[in-house]
Structure 1
Amino acid sequence: MEIIRILALSGSLREASYNSAAIEAMQVLAPDNIEIDICSIGNLPLFNPDREGERIPSLDKLVQALKNSDGLIIASPEYAHGVSGPMKNALDWLVSGVEFPYKLIMLINTSPRASHAQESLREILKTMSGIVVEKASVSIPLLSSELGVSGIVKNIEMSITLMAGLNEFCAEIERQKLNKRVN
């Protein structure tokens, strides 16, 4: 069975982030043929187009991870009805690269009532020519749950939801790979 490599980004910098915990739980739950690489966006400098082309180690690592991935998982909180600053900053750094367009994307929403940021994120990703796999995108009710990684993994309903999304995402990745081979 071929390895599927997925890059995962959390839009939260909080140590006890529900978004980070959801991604880490998915990493624990994933079967052996699915590698989920979690990349931090916290060390990226503020986006400045004048710095494009400059060697920035945290950006180089992010770009290389994206380039090596078959897909991208994003879990990001909503702040004041918008996308988190760190996530928007990371996407701004990636907007002019050749690695992002047509990348398959799975979204995880850890607060189902937080719909404004999810819609804004979808618009940003669409504008960047990313492909959000809607059938793979999931919501899990983590807000105020106080669940960490192990709590999410042990919660049957949340684990099933995350794995159903991941399975759908990987199936779409496989379909895309097959289409590229055939064409």
Structure 2
Amino acid sequence: MLRALSFMAPATFSISVFDQVSALPVFSPDLETGELPPQVCTFMDQVAASDGLIVSSPEYVRSIPGGLKNAIDWLVSGHLLTEKPIALMHASHRGDDMLADLRTVFGTVSSKFSCDLFLRFSLMNLTSNQISEVLSEPQNRDRIKVFLESFSLLVPQKAGFS
């Protein structure tokens, strides 16, 4: 869903998808005392360079999957999320418990997390091509456009950028 979104976004948006959460080592404060693992540095650099985060995740046993929670832990320890605008997207008709957990976590770590800005599609068990087709439907393109425009209002404008 996020890849399809990145291809469908208006030219005023640049969306990159980080899909290497599983490559991050398990967070431990002990690992922060020395040089960070390269995968963590890459991840943190990408987050630091972003103007905001759109997070999408499946639920696992009605909660945040361990890999995503681990990624968040790496970011929290570095304070990268404190002022970062964050919004959620979801690709299932279920997962409300996990979404509530994510809202609690992001609401705690970011002053710019938007609890109200949320986009959901029912895309379970669809292939990448099918997801692109569903999201390309005119009514869904409109929903995506409104979501992205609303998200852009959370992002501080840079000098010379409009």
User: TM-score range with shorter-chain normalisation?
Assistant: 0.7 to 0.9
Quote the Cα distance in structure 1 between the aligned partners of 2:115 and 2:28. Answer: 31
Task: Give the TM-score, by structure 2 length.
Answer: 0.85
Change (3 A) 1:110 1:77: same
Q: Which amino acid is the alignment partner of residue 85 of structure 2?
A: L
Quote the Cα distance in structure 1 between the aligned partners of 2:49 and 2:7. Answer: 20
The residue number in structure 1 matching 2:62 is 81
Quote the Cα distance in structure 1 between the aligned partners of 2:84 and 2:121. Answer: 23
- Residue 50 of structure 2 corresponds to residue 50 of structure 1: no
Structure 1 stretches of 4+ moved >6 Å: none
Residue pairs, 1:134-149, within 5 angstroms: 134-146=115-127, 148=129, 149=131
Does the aligned pair in 1 maintain the 2:103–2:115 contact within 8 Å?
A: no
CA drift of 1:83 comes to 0.5
The residue number in structure 2 matching 1:163 is 145
Q: Which amino acid is the alignment partner of residue 49 of structure 1?
A: P
Quote the Cα distance in structure 2 between the aligned partners of 1:134 and 1:156. Answer: 26
Task: Give the TM-score, by structure 1 length.
Answer: 0.76
1:121-147, Cα deviation, whole Å (9 max, x unpaired) = 011112223522244321111123445
Q: From the two aligned structures, give the one with the greater strand fraction.
A: 1
CA drift of 1:162 comes to 2.2
Does the aligned pair in 1 maintain the 2:112–2:154 contact within 8 Å?
A: no
SS class of match (1:24): helix
Does the aligned pair in 2 maintain the 1:26–1:163 contact within 8 Å?
A: no
List alignment gaps of at least 5 residues for structure 2.
Answer: none
SS class of match (2:103): helix
Q: Which amino acid is the alignment partner of residue 172 of structure 1?
A: L
The sequence identity of aligned pairs, in percent, is: 28
Does the aligned pair in 1 maintain the 2:107–2:115 contact within 8 Å?
A: no
- Residue 136 of structure 2 corresponds to residue 154 of structure 1: yes
Alignment: residue pair count:
156
SS class of match (1:36): coil
Does the aligned pair in 2 maintain the 1:152–1:159 contact within 8 Å?
A: no
